[in-house]
């Protein structure tokens, strides 16, 4: 990708990985006895098969790089690869035969330091790939303090595992065109990355595509390229387009796209409502879990109830034009669930259920005088309760399924002791399956009984106004150190500088007289 070098990122080391494909090359060039050849081939295939075993339970984010987006100027990298020096919380490493990925990470920083911009960058990448945002919106996020901002490239790159296959995917954007888009089977530091496709667009917006060596040798490749180019827009990624094609050489693009579309889940303060009302209605086991979880918070909640009404009955007859559009959408996509929030704060799901379009709303039960239960609308609940309801499905899925959850401001509107208990429960659980990454200000979570040092990250603005991103493991602290105290004392940076506030005499600005 031009000056963007995949191999500039640190490689993952896997024990005995030096064998890889080099064994095959050695066997082809050197004469061995039949017994020796058999032993080498068995070893070679053992390494190949063991890589599949290693990744069998893993659908994960490995690392993410961003350059020239929001407050990120120069390229910064976030990684979930464990620091080999650390010996704490071993169960935080999803570990199979030496291949390790962390399950948890937190990002700290002062207001305006860039921690939310980190999550916004991942979210923008996801939405760009799945077609929910445009290249114009990405262009507008360029780092404003860059003197060559108008002509400078923007880069988003990610390494991940989906369906037991490791991928590396990156996009380089110049203005309103994708200069380079590439997808590789990641070698994970064991072998060379294998190209799946690379597309480039020149300054005239003409697109060129190169596929894997096997596909390039196939007699159908040129015809396929000409067909694809007719559908390619220089400002749109082609991963989604290729994943929809029925082509044996592009089978892996389906898994790669699935990671963005399904595995990666972003929860932001302004995220759309989750399909909680529908899930509680159709999944009795989930309802029991959700009810027990919310009741355990001692919020006075005694029940979660999903109520269903036909769409016209819920909205009335005055909104027929808008409703007909929704109905048509759900008839065409019967498995889709639409989550919406009304202007007065009510949240609801619209679904196609047994060929009827219905609206499901969640109501929360509380007991009052004489133990009488009364149902409340979501709009009547506190911000903290609503935020916890947003987390009900997220925590259930990240514990029991192979999902990657990235949450912005996890502690927002939630009591410090409550959010610590939730995070600690995930941290101490040795049977989790997913990953959880979040930004926070909550210093109570800075506890080495909850986090490894390589699971704590900081953002801080430098003199150029750009966000720096670094891990606490860079400081090589001892496992007995009180990291909360060290953070609040400024030992690791990434805290507000309050000198200007202390010197401010706000009575000088009193205009009441």
Determine the Cα–Cα distance for residues 192 and 271; give it in Å rounded to an integer: 39
pLDDT at 58: 65
Domain residue limits, the chain: 276-388
Determine the Cα–Cα distance for residues 325 and 311; give it in Å rounded to an integer: 12
Residue 261 DSSP code: I
Q: Can you give the pTM of this predicted structure? A: 0.84
Closest CA to 264 of 112, 162, 376: 162
Q: How far is Cα of residue 494 from the mean position of the Cα atoms in its chain? A: 23
Q: How far is Cα of residue 456 from the mean position of the Cα atoms in its chain? A: 17
Find out whether 183 and 253 touch, Cβ atoms under 8 Å.
Answer: yes
Phi-psi region of 350 (alpha: psi -120 to 50; beta: other; left: phi over 0): beta
Structure tokens at 51: 């890589």
Residue 495 DSSP code: S
Structure tokens at 125: 């990448």
pLDDT at 38: 45
Q: How far is Cα of residue 335 from the mean position of the Cα atoms in its chain? A: 23
Q: How many CB atoms lie within 10 A of CB 300?
A: 13
pLDDT at 228: 87
Phi/psi of residue 142, nearest 5 degrees: -55, 145
Residues of the chain short of pLDDT 50, as ranges, are: 2-32, 36-57, 97
Count the helix, strand and coil residues of the chain and give each as a percent rounded to the nearest 5.
40, 25, 35
pLDDT at 347: 86
pLDDT at 191: 82
């Amino acid at each position: 990708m031009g000056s963007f070098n995949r191999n500039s990122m640190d490689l993952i080391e896997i024990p005995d990985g030096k064998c890889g494909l080099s064994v095959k090359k050695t066997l082809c060039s050197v004469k061995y006895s039949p017994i020796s050849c058999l032993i080498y081939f068995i070893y070679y295939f053992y390494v190949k098969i063991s890589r599949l075993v290693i990744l069998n339970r893993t659908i994960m984010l490995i690392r993410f790089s961003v350059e020239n987006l929001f407050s990120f100027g120069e390229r910064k990298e976030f990684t979930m690869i464990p620091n080999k020096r650390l010996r704490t919380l071993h169960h935080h490493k999803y570990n199979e035969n030496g291949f390790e990925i962390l399950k948890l990470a937190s990002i700290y920083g002062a207001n305006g330091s860039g921690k939310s911009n980190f999550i916004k960058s991942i979210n923008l990448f996801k939405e760009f790939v799945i077609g929910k945002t445009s290249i114009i919106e990405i262009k507008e996020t360029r780092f404003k303090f860059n003197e060559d901002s108008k002509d400078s490239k923007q880069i988003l790159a990610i390494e991940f595992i989906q369906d037991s296959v490791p991928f590396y995917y990156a996009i380089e954007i110049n203005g309103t065109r994708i200069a380079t888009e590439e997808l590789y089977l990641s070698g994970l530091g064991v072998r060379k990355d294998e190209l799946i496709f690379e597309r480039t667009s020149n300054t005239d917006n003409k697109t060129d595509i190169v596929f894997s060596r096997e596909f390039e040798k196939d007699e159908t490749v040129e015809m396929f390229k000409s067909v694809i180019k007719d559908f390619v827009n220089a400002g749109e990624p082609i991963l989604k387009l290729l994943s929809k094609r029925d082509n044996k050489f592009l089978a892996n693009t389906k898994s790669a796209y699935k990671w963005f579309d399904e595995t990666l889940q972003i929860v932001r303060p302004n995220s759309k409502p989750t399909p909680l009302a529908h899930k509680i209605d159709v999944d009795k086991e989930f309802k029991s879990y959700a009810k027990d979880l919310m009741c355990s918070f001692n919020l006075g909640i005694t029940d979660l109830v999903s109520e269903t009404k036909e769409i016209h009955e819920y909205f009335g007859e005055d909104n027929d034009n808008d409703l007909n559009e929704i109905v048509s959408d759900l008839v065409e996509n019967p498995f889709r669930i639409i989550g919406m929030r009304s202007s007065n704060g009510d949240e609801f799901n619209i679904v196609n259920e047994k060929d009827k379009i219905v609206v499901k709303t969640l109501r929360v039960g509380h007991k009052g005088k004489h133990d009488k239960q009364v149902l409340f609308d979501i709009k009547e609940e506190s911000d903290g309760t609503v935020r916890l309801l947003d987390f009900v499905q997220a925590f259930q899925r990240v514990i029991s399924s192979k999902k990657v959850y990235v949450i912005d401001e996890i502690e927002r509107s939630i009591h410090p002791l409550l959010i610590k208990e939730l995070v600690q429960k995930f941290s101490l659980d040795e049977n989790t399956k997913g990953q959880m990454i979040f930004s926070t200000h909550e210093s109570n979570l800075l506890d080495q009984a909850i986090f490894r040092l390589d699971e704590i990250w900081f953002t801080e603005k430098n003199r150029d106004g750009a966000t720096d991103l670094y891990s606490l493991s860079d400081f090589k602290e001892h496992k007995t150190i009180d990291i909360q105290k060290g953070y609040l004392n400024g030992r690791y940076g990434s805290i507000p500088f309050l000198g200007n506030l202390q010197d401010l005499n706000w009575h000088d600005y009193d205009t009441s007289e």
